[in-house]
Every structure is written in C-alpha cells, then in structure tokens.
Structure 1
C-alpha cells in the first residue's frame, strides 16, 4: 500500500469510528434484551470495583493500621472485612458471568442472523451475479467477514459498563481530594488521546488485513477446486508460490497490526502506573499536612491502578471497529446487491407432462454480446426435443432459461402457457428439473443424494429413479446399498456414475419437464441409449424432455431436433430431415461421429 493511500485511510479513522458506532446501534436494536442484561452486569461489576477500592481503604485505615500501631489484631473486625470482601467478590463474579453470557449470546445470535440472511441472499441473487463473484470470496464473506462484523459486540457491553466505572472512579477521586483528582484529570484525557491515535493508525491496517483474508480464501478455494488440473499439469510449485505470496502479504499485514498493538499495550499499562506513583507522592504530602487520611490515600491509589481497565476495554472496542467495519461493508455489499429472482403466485397442475414454449427470447450476459437472438421453440407435451449446435451457440443458456436460473432480456419463456416469472418457486421446482453437464454429488449417502429430504421420495421411488437412470444394479451391489457414503463431490464414483446419480435425483422428484444439458456425456453410448430409451418410453406418462445432444444415437431418439447457430434457431425437424437439408447440421453431427470413432 502506498504512503498516500495509507495517509488517506488514516484520515478516515474518525469516519470509521462513526460508521462503527452506527453498526453497533443496529446490533443493539436487533438484540435489546441481551444487550441490556450484559450492560447491567458490566455496570454492576464496575460499580463493585469502585466500591471495592473504598472498602480496601477502610480496611487498611481501620483494621491494618491500628493492628500495626497497637501490635494486636482485632479478630472480629478482620473477619467482618474478609466477609465484606468475599461478598463483593461473589457479586463481581455473578455480574461478570451475566455480562459475558449475555454478550456472547448477543454476538453469536447476530452472527447466525447475518449468515442466514447472506445464505438466503445468495439463493435469491441471479446466476449472472454469481458469475461475477468467486466462490472463495462468497465463502469468505459468509465466514470471516461475518465474524469480523460482529466481533466489536464482544467488548461493547464491557466498554459501556466501564464508562460508568471510569466516571465513578474519577468522580470519587475528585470528591476525596481535589489535588489528587487533578492527576486523574490529566491522566484520563491522555489515555483517551492515546486511544484515538491508536484507532486512527490501526484502522487502515485492520481493513487491509481483512481484504487480504478474503484474497487468501479465494486462492485456497480455487486451488482446492482445481486440484486435479494442478496435479496433472505439474503446477503444484507455481500454485504453492501463488498461495504463499498472498499468505505472505496477509502475514506481513497482521505483523503490522501486532506491532502497533504491541507498542500500544505497554503504554496503556504504564500510564496508570505513572499516575499511581504521582498520586502516592502527592498523597504522602497531603497526608502529612492532614488533608487526607490513610484510608483515603489507599482508596485513591487503588482507583488509579484500575483506571487502565476501563480505558483498555474502550480500546478493545475501538481497536475491533476497523476490522468490523471492513467485514460489515463486505457483508452489506451482498445483502444490498442488485437483482433478485422474484417469484409469482401462480401454481400449476401436476397431472400431465408439461409444454415448454420460447417466444422471441433474447439474452446476453452482463457486459457481453447477445447469446440468444429471437429464439422461438416448443417442447410439446410428452415429446422429446433435442438441441444441437456448435459450441457457443446458446444451448446451455436455453437450458438455464427453461429452469429460470436466468430470465430473458426480451421475449417470454412459458410453461403450460404461464410465464415462468409468474410461477411460485415451489411450482417451478415441482414441475421442472435440470440435469447439468457437470454433476454435483453431496458428501452423503446415495439415498440422501437422490431423495434430498423430499417426503414423496421414499426408498421405492429412489429405486425406481435408479432403474430409469440405469444405475440400480451398481447401487444394489454396493456393501451398504443406498446407505453408501459417496465422499465429497462423489469422489468414490466415476464420472458416468455421478451423472447417473444426478439424473436419478432429478427423476425422483417426478418432474413434468426434464432438461438434460449434455447430462450423459460421460456415460458409455450403450448405457446412454438405454437411459434415453427408458426416459422416452416413460415420457408420455411422466415428463417432456429437452436434451442438449451431441451423439447421433441420442439425437435420433428425439421427436424433433432444433439446430442453433450463433444464438439463432437455424432449422428444426427430425434428425433425418436436417441431415438431408441443413449442411451445417450434417457437418456438425458428422464431426461428432468422427470424434467418437477416434475415441473408441
């Protein structure tokens, strides 16, 4: 970071403090009961600490000093002093327990609330937004940034309570002796000024460290996801160096934070000690002149020894604010992000397969060229339609539009005559299922992966779906059958097995429209033919099918083929008709066949 930018950020220390107080106000408004309990405990603890100073002063003046002077101990007075000190200690423990328990509950409730809101927002935001934000960054926001945003709430009740303690201690010193009080009037503003200086210096360091944490999470997540590529390409050293460089930046940033804190803490400890020495020196003079008693001198000296505590508590709060503001800004950026997949109120009948219509649909991704231009096509009820086209022609985008992962920029996508945007989320999820080219399998059992906690998907339905996906015999042969754990992302399964498990998951929901986005590309052609044959034979009873296809055997099973080029529908008809009349279609299918032959 340049000197100029650091200076600019330092000048914003006051703004960070103001924004941090605003964030704290929002949290207090969200959890007023827990905040009140924790502050009450903190105030009681501070008041008892101030009172303890006067009790100790009285014990020294009335019990300890006479014992030395008379060379005898007043047992009754000593027992009473011990009982009072024990009672105060017990009350302090109870107050501290109440403060910590309530403050912890408040912080973790706010943390859970933010994470729930962020998760819901992730689900609401459109696919285009997710494509602009890395998974590592989103993961960092939901974990590290949320923790940073709520961290200031841990010392907040203590800081509020110790303000009362600070005022009480300083007022008590002034009430006891105004000369000794002058030391406090010099010391306390000095400590406050030191806190402000510390906050302004710490703010840019904490904010930079929080950004670096997110950067480390992004690289780590990307490295884990791309482990196979990294290993097969022999790029372990390069990836390690890339990660080490970012971790090194974070390390250096945190060292700067620690260095500043390491300088600040000793100074904060030293100043009250200097004040105590000054009080003892002045107090000895005041005591010799008869202006104060021994009890008063001891009480004031004890109060000065604890003056650092309330200011340290305030420093903890002020020190956590820069990181808290940085974390909150990242959290708020997600919660306030523009765009949302809003659902309607219309429901649909589940009795029959669905009809899908695209009417003059146009679509482009953010800051990109149009992907689809005036696309019109129909998947008739109970029929199978194949989408064929070269790479980049818009096939997968059509699949995403059909399940409303994205909405069209122009035109309309209809299901049984209803605009998808007018349907409820439940109606859409019940009616349409997408099986993507890249299958995702949860780190769970086969049963859980397919049923997905749907009440209707009992074991009988799961087995029926597995049979349609042509993987029932494989699952039946496993030691735990449906209870077999498949590992993270299905690492114990082959690519074709993962695709078939994903297909069975979609079929278990009994969708009325099934969309296969090259969902059997990793499956043996004979198995693929069996799967599509089973789906086709059941289509009239269960689902209409829209399939993104490459293999001739797959395409030939379709009732109609829609051929795309550059985001436009160029031709439609049966496979035989397009072979005879569309040169581009013939060349593409022939090229796929030659590639398959070479693979075989």
Structure 2
C-alpha cells in the first residue's frame, strides 16, 4: 500500500473516530434532557411534514382549482378562498413546527451549556492554587465560555436534521405515488449531494478544529494583555502587545478565511445540485405530460418535492460540520473536569477559640514545571529558580517551626528564600511536597472543607479589590454588620479615609480598587481579613505600601485586639521586624536561625547585614549629599 493510500486510510479512521466520539457526546446530551429534546424533534417533524405537505397542497390546488380557473378564463371568490386557505394552513403548521424546533432546541443547548459552565467553574474552585498557576486565566475563560458553547451548539441543527428525516420519507412516498419513474429521475441528485457533503466534511474538519483552537489562544492573549494593562502602559509595551495580539488574531483570521473559502466553494455546488435536478425533472416531466403519462400538476408537485427534499441532506451536512468543533471543544472542557488534583479534606473540625498553635514539621515544597506564583510580586526570583529546571531545587526545604498561640513571628530573608511560599503553605493555598502543617495539633489535611479558611486569613502584598463598594469588599457578601466593619477598618487605620469618601462604605472603588492608592487598598485588604477575627493571621508584606507610622499603628492594634490572633508576617522594614516576638531567618528555603531581633543581630551576621541594608543605604546617601555640598 502506497504512502498516499495509507495517509488516506488514517484520515478516514480519524474522521470515523471523530464522528463516533461526537455521537457519544450527543447521546449524553439527549439523556440529560430527553423530554425537551423530544419536543424539539417533534417540532422539527411537524415542520418536515408541513414542508413536504406543501408540495401536495400546491399539486392539489393546481389540479383542482388553478388549472380549471385557467381553462375557464376566470376565478371566483370561493375558489380563491380555497387556494389561499389551503396554502395558509400549511404555512401555519410550518410556522408552529419552526417555533417548536427552535425554542426547545435552544432550551436543550443553553440548558446543557449552563449546566456545564457551572460544572467547570465549580471545578475551578475545587482545584488547588498550584493547578491555577499552570493555566492562564484566558484559557480558563475560554474553557468555560467558548468551548462549552462550541460543545453543545450541535443541538441547534440536530433536532432539525432528525425531524426532516420524516420530511424525506414523506416526500419520497409522495413522489412514488405520483410517478415512480419521475421519482427515480429526481433521486439522481441525492448521491451527488451526499458525495459533495462528504468531500465538504473532509475539507472542513481540520479547518474547523484549527479555528476553534485559535479562538482559545486569542482569548488567552487578550485576557493577559488586559490584566497587564498597568505594565503595558508604564513600560511602553503597547506596540509589542499589539503585535502579539495581531499575530494570533491574524492566524485566527486566516483560519476563518480558510473555513469561509471552503464553505463558499461548496455551498453553491450543494445549492446548484437540487436546482439542476429540478430542471431535469421538468424536462422529463414535459415529455411525460406530452405522452399523457402525467398531468402538469403532478410535474409541478414532483419538481417542488425535489427542491424541498434537498434540504434534509443539507441539514445533515450542517450537523456533520459541527461534529469536529464539538469533539475538540468537549475534550478541552473534559481535561478540566477530569483533573484529579483536588484538595483533600477530612472530617475533623477545630475546637476552641482564640489564637491557634501553628506547627510545621519537616515541611518541604517544590514548584512543578510551568508553575508560577503571584502571591508576592517581589518573589519572582524564587519562582524562576524552581520553574522549568530539570532538577528544580526545593523552594522550602525541611522547615520545622512551632509558634505558640498569640505570638507574632516575623519571617525575614532575602528574595527567593521561600518566605511567600511558606506563608501560602501555612494557609493551605499550597500543598506541601513533604512534611505536615498543624493547627492546634491537627493536621490540615484532616480538617473538613472550609475549616482552614475559617481559622486563618492571608493578606498578600498584591492586593485585589473587586469592582464593588467598600462594604462589599470587606464583607464579600457575608452577613457582617457595619459596626464590625467599622472596627476592622479602624484597626487597619482605614476608617479615616473611608469616612471621607463620597458615600462612605457605599462608595464604589472601581475595578481592582483603581480609585484608591496602593496603601489604601492594602488597608482595606487587611480589614477584610481582620473583620473575620481569624485565629491565625498571615501578613505577606501586607503593609509595604503604607507609611511606617501607619504600619506601626496597625501592628500595635493587632497585638491589642480582643481575643487576638497568632500572627505570622513576612517583613522587610526594621521597625516591623522589631515588633515581632520572634524572628525566623530564612535562606535558600531553610531556617538559618531564629530568636528575638536583638539576639539575631548579635549572632547572625547575614541577618544583621540584611536588615540593616536600608539604614546603611540611607546613611551613605546622606554622606554623599553632605560631601557634595
């Protein structure tokens, strides 16, 4: 067997596999909504019978009313009423069928799509943060929107294709009853239509598949560019992003042009075949009328049926054209739904109130390939060191740490030392590669769903605010009274500026809090965590954008808060570090030393060099300024 023959055989097998896969998907959809789908098919059947019945009505009207009227040279009112009444009745039935088919077909399609979108978005919520790090937001949006829609769009033409089978059978019976010879003449167009549709599908399948994949790529690039609007504007990267977006949209344009060119080539052919068949039927019918084998009305009826019955074949072509998109989109969605990396939970719940005891025992963590973290923008080096490297080092390596209830502990270390990773691990946003994290002696993996988020709160440096009111951003939809919101805002040193806003707590802050400064956004994020009275509060450099005096007031307020919290903070400022009960010095993902700030200054040279760097730089600048003066 030659290479060309082998390639053709493989292509045919691939097309058959696509069709079988699509039929299984369609079968699942029918089982989900059997009643509504059946009503859509019934509507299509009514449409098909009425459409084929139009040929009979036209033939009957022509034979019993039009031809006698032409012969008599006049037409009376009653005859006109019969003609219009017969045609109007068929048109009314056709309209009812079209409405039923489209309404119930749309209910099936959009109903299943809505259910699938809910399944996809719920899966997004169940999947761990590490999975989200590996998948761009644009891709996730494409999965939940474009891919879900493409998967189930086939249910729009499908009821029509099934219903018009009745039209095909009804029409063939009519032609056989009128004149079997003319039926055979007319049926010559159907093999031609099927061949044309087969060629069309072979050409269209790879083109439609490519176009669907490129739609997802466009969504990913567009979302990323919009999310990075601040970086793009500030770095003058508009032209680069424009070129990047133009490149991927250009590929999509070419793919869509290829789809349109193929469709534009085959549509006229598919349209022309039944028209040519109608001309052949009229020519043959004229001869049979001359021989007395048929009447003119019967020729009109057969010719009309030939034109009408080409529609079912085209309807199946539309369905076949959707099958590749259905399969490609379904597989993209299923890859999300079949992900098994869910966060596991146990049955246990935390007892007691007040600050928790936090314990880390032999905790290690390694980032997987293509993972990235946005927990702290400054720790990009930390991620770069562990992504895309064959033997990636541990971002956190064998950390043992125990924090007594109510204590404030500062994590200090250079960029890439694992501080932000450790902060995320303590709130179970990242799962440990090895080791155990415990609250009050209970392993986090044994806690019931929601227990960790009820007990602990993380405030990252990269603050996110919703396009909502101040109150909405603090409560996040929970039933929290305004007095509690005000207390949290006062503790976060945010009440003064919130009270001065145009509508106070009801002021809209804009997308990502665009109407507020960086420090104001950080304070709102802190209030959002504090209002829930967490037993463990993790601050990942969460006050870096506020004035030092404000930061000190916030930290003093946290220490004095009734009930209190165990506080773990990632800190850089010397004033912040000095407030901690204990300092943990990290380097290379490991604990180098721990103790009070004063103790570490006296015995840990690298720690002293790190925390006094800012002070040394300030002194050097002052000396240079004095010398130049």
Scaled by the length of structure 2, the TM-score of the pair is 0.91
2-structure distance, mates of 1:274, 1:309 = 14
SS of 2:395's equivalent in the other structure is: strand
Partner of 1:248: 250
Partner of 1:219: 221
Select 1:389's aligned residue among 396, 413, 416.
413
| Residues 463-474 of structure 1: pairs in structure 2 closer than 5 A | 463-474=486-497
Partner of 1:508: 531
Partner of 2:80: 78
SS of 1:370's equivalent in the other structure is: coil
**Segment of structure 1 superposing worse, 244-253 or 344-353:** 344-353
Partner of 2:595: 573
Q: Post-superposition shift, 1:71?
A: 2.2
**Contact 1:149–1:324 (CA under 8 A) maintained in structure 2:** yes
2-structure distance, mates of 1:126, 1:230 = 29
**Contact 1:16–1:203 (CA under 8 A) maintained in structure 2:** no
Total equivalences in the alignment = 595
2-structure distance, mates of 1:423, 1:235 = 46
Select 1:23's aligned residue among 25, 43, 54.
25
Structure 2 residue 537 is the aligned partner of structure 1 residue 547: no
| Residues 269-280 of structure 1: pairs in structure 2 closer than 5 A | 269-280=271-282
Return closer, same or farther for 1:57/1:182 CA change in 2, 3 Å cut-off: same
| Residues 100-499 of structure 1: pairs in structure 2 closer than 5 A | 100-349=102-351, 351-367=353-369, 368-455=392-479, 457-499=480-522
**Contact 1:563–1:570 (CA under 8 A) maintained in structure 2:** yes
Q: Post-superposition shift, 1:198?
A: 0.9
2-structure distance, mates of 1:293, 1:93 = 30
Scaled by the length of structure 1, the TM-score of the pair is 0.95
Moved over 4 A (4+): 6-11, 595-600
Return closer, same or farther for 1:184/1:424 CA change in 2, 3 Å cut-off: farther
Q: Post-superposition shift, 1:592?
A: 4.2
1-structure distance, mates of 2:349, 2:339 = 28
| Residues 5-24 of structure 1: pairs in structure 2 closer than 5 A | 12-24=14-26
Return closer, same or farther for 1:95/1:59 CA change in 2, 3 Å cut-off: same
Deviations 1:384-423 (A, max 9, x none): 1111111111111111111111211211111111111121
**Contact 2:364–2:395 (CA under 8 A) maintained in structure 1:** yes
**Contact 2:345–2:447 (CA under 8 A) maintained in structure 1:** yes
Select 2:47's aligned residue among 27, 45, 48.
45
Deviations 1:467-525 (A, max 9, x none): 11101000000111011111111111111111111111111111111111111111111
Structure 2: segments with no counterpart, 5+ residues = 370-391, 623-629
Return closer, same or farther for 1:391/1:65 CA change in 2, 3 Å cut-off: same
Q: Post-superposition shift, 1:81?
A: 3.2
Q: Post-superposition shift, 1:440?
A: 0.4
Return closer, same or farther for 1:41/1:495 CA change in 2, 3 Å cut-off: same
Select 1:522's aligned residue among 501, 526, 545.
545
**Segment of structure 1 superposing worse, 404-413 or 349-358:** 349-358
**Contact 1:469–1:503 (CA under 8 A) maintained in structure 2:** yes
Return closer, same or farther for 1:115/1:473 CA change in 2, 3 Å cut-off: same
2-structure distance, mates of 1:10, 1:506 = 59
SS of 1:278's equivalent in the other structure is: helix
SS of 1:359's equivalent in the other structure is: strand
Partner of 1:94: 96
Return closer, same or farther for 1:548/1:282 CA change in 2, 3 Å cut-off: same
Structure 2 residue 561 is the aligned partner of structure 1 residue 559: no
**Segment of structure 1 superposing worse, 78-87 or 152-161:** 78-87
Structure 1: segments with no counterpart, 5+ residues = none
1-structure distance, mates of 2:590, 2:342 = 27
